[in-house]
Structure 1
Amino acid sequence: MKKVAIIPLRKGSKGIPGKNKKKMLGRPLFSWVLGAAIFSDLDAVYVFTDDAEILAFIEKEYAWSPKVKGLLRAAENANDTASTESTMLEFAEKINYDFDMLCLLQATSPMTTTANINEAIAKMYVSDTVSVLSVVKTHRFTWNEDGTPQNYDVFNRPRRQDFNGLLMENGAIYLTTKEAFVSSKNRVSGKIGLIEMPEETLHEIDSLSDWTIIENLLANRQKQQKKQEPIKYLVLDVDGVFTDGCVYYGSEGELMKKFDMRDGMGLEILRQHSVEVVVITSENSELVAKRMQKLQIKHAFLGVKDKFSFLQNFINEQKTTWSHLAYVGDDVNDLAGLCTVGWSFAPNNATTVVKHNVDVVLNNNSANGAIREVCEWLMKYNSRYVNVK
């Protein structure tokens, strides 16, 4: 069965201008659910938007994934009054209803995981189920406007552990069969299955305070998944890690970047200790490319904006895990990876937000011994695993 997802995005956003492109933990908001969808059991994922900038970003940034496609959304289905169902119908018509299951994913639910999506898909195979939606169990007491309680007896208030609570839609995942969608023209219909997601996924992004709450929740979730394992890969940003973060320009463009020769020797020694070096940078610099060739770094990836998804794909290809990675970064576009890897580092001159989120703040600045310091730290750290079975 062909399983297709739609992630609808609007260019306009009144509550938080540019919300879908605004960086949450260093990644555009929509890339969180898109990344989860890429690595799920879905067969295709469409970002359906009226924003040409996002469509260009999709085409360039996710060329490594054949699942991801960008599709232009009509202006009349991208205004304040357009319904999600009308958008889904337009989308279905544009792809000639080429799906057996249609999954609606919301960019404003960045806590959605690959496991959540796969659970929804699995639920569809339960007998007679033709639709699935995600819910959250809340233990809040609810009331009617006339001052009467809806879900408990005020004279017999239950303890939290004795209270079953309520199931509420969190707006993250909706899944339906093509037949049900064509018949009902609605995101769910018929016999509906439920999948339960964590209570924190009930948060909605309507204001900047909501944004801060969810960003902190995401950072904490990623950090809680950390495990201490032998480090097999060292991931490095370039500007602000290899270099001092300065770029020297002339009339012909980029002229110079400063690199520390001691860092190069440290990486050579580290590779002799069976740690592979991975360089990933958002810039596409000829100077950087030449420096990486000089250092004989075979895993050098330039011009990568969504580093987190790219690294997840790299991890899958290498048949390893995040816990076997160490990462050195200095700015916000490294945050998601830094919060997830086994060990994370920041040069002493990194941005404050990065220094607050890494495991180790280095003594040395970038382009002044920071990478060499990490190399020596990792060699000592990995030595504890020698001869350990």
Structure 2
Amino acid sequence: MVGRPLFTWVLGEAIFSELDMVYVYTDDTDIIDFINKEYHWTTKVEAILRSDESATDTASTEFAMLEFAEKINYNFDVFCLLQATSPFTKRNDINTCLDKLKNGFDSALTVVNTHRFLWNENGTAINYNPHKRPRRQDFEGLLVENGSVYTTTKEALQKHKNRIGDKVAVVKMPEDTLLEIDSETDWLAVETLLIERQKRAKESQKITHIVLDVDGVFTDGTITYTKDGEHTKGFDMRDGMGLEILRQFNIEVMIMTSEQSELVAKRMQKLKINHVFLGVKDKYSLLQHVLKEQNVSLNNVAYLGDDVNDLTNICSVGWSLTPNNATDVVKQHADIVLSKNSGAGAIREACQFIFNYNKRF
């Protein structure tokens, strides 16, 4: 989903929310391995293997919730259920639901105020008078669960064995969050909405950081191998000089690549780049973490990437740039498509753009 595993959209927001601990409860050992490797930079996330019984197509969510709660001996004050297939969930939605439990409610859930006109199968209207059809802007509509966030106190969960208690608060989310992913068409619609949401949040500010992918940015994307494994990558020396010039103007250079490459580590050491992150699959969450530690906004970042795993960052940072030979999907959404190819001066061209752009500030 926009170059990230679907569940990482809500997981990333949970990490940066006011929740104290985030558990991924799954029967998929590949996901557990992913969690353990990917989120080493936070102590807030833990993956736990769930039973086969709680992971069947017929098992209820409540069954899994209660099984999990018993597994950790109900060691919590508030339980928050987040749906892994709800990528529109934001940390503010989670925090608002948590806040409701501080104000006399024992549970809260997210809803959408839908202005759709509903009917029964017998041809009778449910929520309006067809003979006095209201205008949409004058129609109060109905509140519908969107399945994104549920919070409940430990006492309410133990009493009702359910995510909903006696005194329930509702938290409204935008209407497009009602869209569910049941087909490939739904997937494409959700992906388009997420991309546009990320782009709308962008603001042009002074660039203080540049973040670069490696393969297909520093290099032309090709790797030579011997029988012993990875052998060589080609780097353009002029790119290194461009980054050195940016550093002289106090622009922080960071490397973020999904590859775990000793060759890359040595090249970045040669370039004296200190912030080098190798083997990163969820680049967006890690970038937010690093920037939060430095008290820097995404709007102060320029990002240079070329493929789908860079797409979320391409759509989210203040300025995104891509080589001329990047993949079509990245070129479609990047702010700047450079005239140079990767490994042939693209980084140097990007450095010159940033240098000129920052002059206005």
Give the TM-score category using the shorter length: over 0.9
Cα distance, 1:126 vs. partner? 1.4
Question: Match for 2:57: what amino acid?
Answer: D
Query: After the TM superposition, which residues 306-321 of structure 1 pair with which residues of structure 2 at under 5 Å, given as runs?
Result: 306-321=282-297
Equivalent residue letter for 2:204: Q
Q: How many angstroms does 1:340 deviate by?
A: 0.3
Question: Tell me, what secondary structure is at the counterpart of 1:96?
Answer: coil
Q: Count how many residue pairs are aligned between Structure 1 and Structure 2.
A: 361
Stretches of structure 1 lacking an aligned partner (at least 5 in a row): 1-23
Structure 2 counterparts to residues 64-213 of structure 1, below 5 A: 64-127=41-104, 129-213=105-189
Runs of 4+ residues deviating >3 angstroms = none
Q: Which residue of 2 aligns with 1:43?
A: 20
| TM-score between both structures, scaled by the size of structure 1 | 0.92
AA at the equivalent of 1:61: E
Measure the CA separation in 2 of the matches of 1:210 and 1:105: 20
Shift of 1:349: 0.5
| Residues 225-276 of structure 1: per-residue CA shift (max 9 Å, x gap) | 0001000000000000011111110011111001000000000001111211
Partner Cα separation in structure 1 for residue 146 and residue 240 of structure 2: 49
Superposed, 1:218-229 pairs within 5 Å as 218-229=194-205
Residue number in structure 2 paired with 1:14: none
- In structure 2, how many angstroms separate the alpha carbons of the residues matched to 1:179 and 1:217? 38
1:124 Cα shift?
1.3
RMSD: 0.6
Letter in 2 for 1:113: K
What is the DSSP-based 3-state SS (H/G/I as helix, E as strand, rest coil) of the residue aligned with 2:211?
A: strand
Counterpart-to-counterpart distance in 2, 1:379 and 1:97? 54
Rounded to whole Å, the distance in 2 between the matches of 1:250 and 1:87 is: 48
- Taking the aligned partners of 2:187 and 2:22, their CA distance within structure 1 comes to 25
Alignment partners' CA distance in 1, 2:63 and 2:293: 38
Report the Cα distance in structure 2 between the residues aligned to 1:120 and 1:321, rounded to whole angstroms: 25
Q: CA deviation at 1:105?
A: 0.2
Q: d(CA) in 2 for partners of 1:154 and 1:75?
A: 49
Give the aligned partner of residue 6 of structure 1: none
Structure 2 letter corresponding to 1:208: E
CA distance in 1, matches of 2:249, 2:118: 60
CA distance in 1, matches of 2:158, 2:4: 35
312-321 vs 152-161, which moves further: 152-161
Counterpart in 1 of 2:2? 25
Instruction: Please state how far the C-alpha of 1:58 moved relative to its aligned partner.
Output: 0.4
**2:46 alignment partner AA:** K
1:288 corresponds to 2:264: yes
Q: 1:103 is matched by which residue type in structure 2?
A: C
User: Is structure 2 residue 207 aligned with structure 1 residue 231?
Assistant: yes
* 3-state DSSP of counterpart to 2:256: strand
Say which SS state the counterpart of residue 157 (structure 2) adopts: helix
Please point out which of 214, 218, 230 is paired with 1:254: 230
Give per-residue Cα distances to partners, 1:342-368, cap 9 Å, x unaligned: 000110010001100110100000000
Aligned to 2:239: 263
Q: Using the TM superposition, give the Cα deviation of residue 151 of structure 1 relative to its aligned residue in structure 2, in angstroms.
A: 1.0
| Residues 152-180 of structure 1: CA deviation (Å, up to 9, x unaligned) | 11111111111111100000001000000
Structure 2 SS opposite 1:223: helix
CA–CA separation in structure 2 for the residues paired with 1:317 and 1:154 = 56
1:376 deviates by 0.2
Rounded Cα–Cα distance in structure 2 between residues aligned with 1:185 and 1:81 = 18
Whole-Å Cα distance in 2 between the matches of residues 73 and 207 of structure 1? 26
Whole-Å Cα distance in 2 between the matches of residues 321 and 143 of structure 1? Answer: 47
Residue in 2 aligned with 1:323?
299
What is the CA-CA distance between 1:63 and the residue it aligns to?
1.1
Kindly report which structure 2 residues correspond to 1:7-26, keeping only aligned pairs within 5 A, or say none: 24-26=1-3
Give the deviation of 1:204 after TM superposition: 0.5
Identity %: 60
Q: Name the aligned partner's letter for residue 193 of structure 1.
A: A
Per-residue deviation, 1:144: 1.4
What is the Cα deviation at residue 125 of structure 1?
Answer: 1.1
| Aligned counterparts of 1:107 and 1:337: Cα–Cα separation in 2 | 20
1:288 to partner: Cα distance: 0.2
Structure 2 residue 318 is matched with structure 1 residue 342: yes
Give the C-alpha shift of residue 107 in structure 1. 0.9
TM-score normalized with structure 2 length: 0.99
**Cα offset, 1:96, TM superposition:** 0.8
